[in-house]
Amino acid sequence: MADLLIAGRLVLDDGTEPADGWLTVDGARITEVGAGDPGDRRRREAGRVLAPPGALVAPGFVNSHTHLFQTFLRGLRDDLDHSEWIGRVIGDNAGRLTEEDVHLAALLGSVENLLAGVTTVVENHYLHTSPKNSDEVLRAMATSGIRGWFARGTLDIGDSIRAVAGPGAAATNVETPDQSLGELERLAGEWHGAAGGRISVGVAVQSAWAASTGLLERLAAFAHDHDLLLHAHCAETADSDRRCRALHGRSEAATFAATGFLGPRTQMVHGVWLDPEDLEIVADRGATVVHCPVANAYLASGTAPVAEMLAAGIPVALGADGSASNHRQDPFESMKAAVLLQRARTMDATSLSPEDALRMARSEAAATLGRPGEIGVLRAGALADIALLDTRRAHLQPVHRMASTLVMCAMPADVTHVVVNGTLVVEDGVVTTLDQAELIERCAHRAADLGFAVGTSPLGGSRT
């Protein structure tokens, strides 16, 4: 007897067209997958049957890079490049957030991801104005029902951050190596494997251009000793590459490689300014690049050479980045932007396909987390992380090729049901794990009370 029976058009993995079928869920995992109609017996024996009309049943998406606390900073500025943005959005405002604000922002961001069909997020958290901020983000992910990798980020060269973004930005995440390692040890002991296995702890550094060699080496050793994910911004902007070369005498990718930080369990985020030599280093070490196309465009950082990465055999995952540099936690927007921006960059309509984008958002992303075949697919034995979409929408019909429909046409509002770890966490477009309406109202009121510094674009008359 299964806990849950789901029937509809099944997307078994990223390489097949959907077909009518069914699957059963028992506990946290998918137990059976079959074609056609499940039959009356399976329907009777299931604890619950989920078979909404027009349902597309697909693996949940993986958002491979975000900053959930930034949900409260959404839309403060729309006219800044990356270096200005760090100071005027993050540096001037993030320090105002209390521990409860961090919790609310992370909870709202988790809910937004779930409603978009994202079942796994990789959270790069670096707001350390209170040591409890990390716990508040972890508590929010656990409460929401999402699967979360919490990569705790840090830096130890405050002068580098102050030179770019001022004292406010430096105050958010600069620590000594001992402080960083001590907190990682605590968080891994208290949270790794929590919430029925949904929560994992990882190791992050924000960027090599503000991190000492000693910090990078110690973080890499800790991750290796504890078999944890490594996560870092890398070659995000031309300026970050220049600053790293000035500090370490080599590129960010080469710096990470020289300190043991770069390897098969490492996610290099952005990679916009990786040159051919860097790509060779990343490929040789078996590391992953997390592509954040919307945020890279929003902050005028550039467009990553994804076509060249794929040609070099580098696994590429897809991330939204934080809501202060993207505004939305939307895998559909990220997939479409990835395809379109890569084609615009290369002037080659074959440089990135919708099928490529789906792999980056699901199965490839799962592999970079060390969970190939467990998430990002629908098969017996896989974790039951599933998203259902209603295909009976005007903007989705007709469907000639499902990959094209999902990447070019679909949007979060098409997601009707979401299952994470075998639990139905979104039903009929509403989160089941908390009072969604109350959360949204609380967050709106609290953000208004905080009185953030809001700027206007040149079209509005100022750039201050």
Tens of pLDDT along 313-343? 999 999 999 999 999 999 999 999 999 999 9
Q: Poorest-confidence range of 23-32, 52-61, 296-305, 451-460?
A: 451-460
pLDDT at site 173: 78
- Are 286 and 264 within 8 A, CB to CB? yes
- For 60, which DSSP code? P
In the sheet where 61-66 sits, what is the strand order?
Answer: 61-66, 118-125, 147-152, 199-205, 230-234, 266-270, 288-291, 316-318
For residue 403, give the nearest of 362, 345, 349 by alpha carbon.
362
Question: Among 368, 384, 406, where does a domain finish?
Answer: 368
Half-sphere exposure of 286 (CA within 13 A, CB side): 8
Same domain membership, residue 96 and residue 54: no
Does the structure show a pLDDT above 80 at 98?
yes
Q: How confident is the model at residue 167 (pLDDT cuts 50, 70, 90)?
A: confident
Question: Which residue do the tokens 């998430």 mark?
Answer: 375
Residues 326/328/330/334 CA torsion (nearest 10 deg): -20
Does the structure show a pLDDT above 50 at 464?
no
Q: What is the CATH classification number for the domain harbouring 301?
A: 3.20.20.140
- For 8, which DSSP code? E
Residue 104 lies in a domain: yes
Helices assigned H by DSSP within 116-251: 133-144, 158-165, 167-173, 177-191, 194-197, 213-226, 238-248
Residue 459 lies in a domain: no
Same domain membership, residue 351 and residue 389: no
- Are 161 and 206 within 8 A, CB to CB? no
Same domain membership, residue 385 and residue 358: no
Give the tens place of pLDDT for each residue, 125-135: 999 999 899 99
pLDDT at site 158: 87
Same domain membership, residue 167 and residue 128: yes
pLDDT at site 459: 45
**pLDDT > 90 in the chain, percent:** 90
Is residue 398 reached through a cis peptide bond, with omega within 30 degrees of 0 on the bond before it?
yes
Please, what sign has the CA dihedral across residues 366, 370, 371, 372? positive
For residue 93, give the nearest of 388, 455, 458, 404 by alpha carbon.
455
Residue 446 lies in a domain: no
Residue 420: count of CB within 10 angstroms of its CB: 28
pLDDT at site 462: 41
**Predicted TM-score of the model (pTM):** 0.96
Task: Please count the structural domains in the chain.
Answer: 2
Same domain membership, residue 360 and residue 266: yes
Q: How confident is the model at residue 461 (pLDDT cuts 50, 70, 90)?
A: very low
Residue 310 lies in a domain: yes
Does the structure show a pLDDT above 70 at 273?
yes
Residue 122 lies in a domain: yes
- Are 378 and 356 within 8 A, CB to CB? no
Task: Compute and round to an integer the Cα radius of gyration of the chain.
Answer: 21
Does the structure show a pLDDT above 70 at 156?
yes
Question: Among 327, 348, 368, where does a domain finish?
Answer: 368
Q: How confident is the model at residue 463 (pLDDT cuts 50, 70, 90)?
A: very low
Question: Among 368, 402, 423, where does a domain finish?
Answer: 368
Residue 28: count of CB within 10 angstroms of its CB: 18
For residue 125, give the nearest of 178, 79, 183, 168 by alpha carbon.
183
The Cα 178–Cα 180 span in angstroms is 5
Domain assignment of residue 276, given as a range: 61-368
Tokens of 255: 């710096």
Same domain membership, residue 148 and residue 36: no
Does the structure show a pLDDT above 70 at 355?
yes
Same domain membership, residue 8 and residue 117: no
- Are 128 and 173 within 8 A, CB to CB? yes
Residue 43 lies in a domain: yes
Residue 438 lies in a domain: no
| Residues β-bridged to residue 58 | 387
- Are 159 and 167 within 8 A, CB to CB? no
Residue 460 lies in a domain: no
Q: What is the CATH classification number for the domain harbouring 25?
A: 2.30.40.10
pLDDT at site 458: 52
* One-character DSSP codes across 301-314: -----HHHHHHTT-
Same domain membership, residue 114 and residue 21: no
Same domain membership, residue 306 and residue 401: no
Give the tens place of pLDDT for each residue, 212-266: 999 999 999 999 999 999 999 999 999 999 999 999 999 999 999 999 999 999 9
| Residues β-bridged to residue 23 | 6, 33
Same domain membership, residue 155 and residue 30: no
Q: Which residue has the higher pLDDT, 454 or 459?
A: 454
User: Which 3 state secondary structure label does DSSP give 408?
Assistant: helix
Does the structure show a pLDDT above 90 at 455?
no
Same domain membership, residue 48 and residue 67: no
Q: 455-460 long-range CB contacts below 8 Å, 24 or more apart?
A: 455/76, 455/77, 455/79, 455/80, 455/88, 456/79, 457/78, 457/79, 458/79
Mean of the per-residue pLDDT values for the chain? 95
Same domain membership, residue 326 and residue 426: no
Does the structure show a pLDDT above 70 at 460?
no
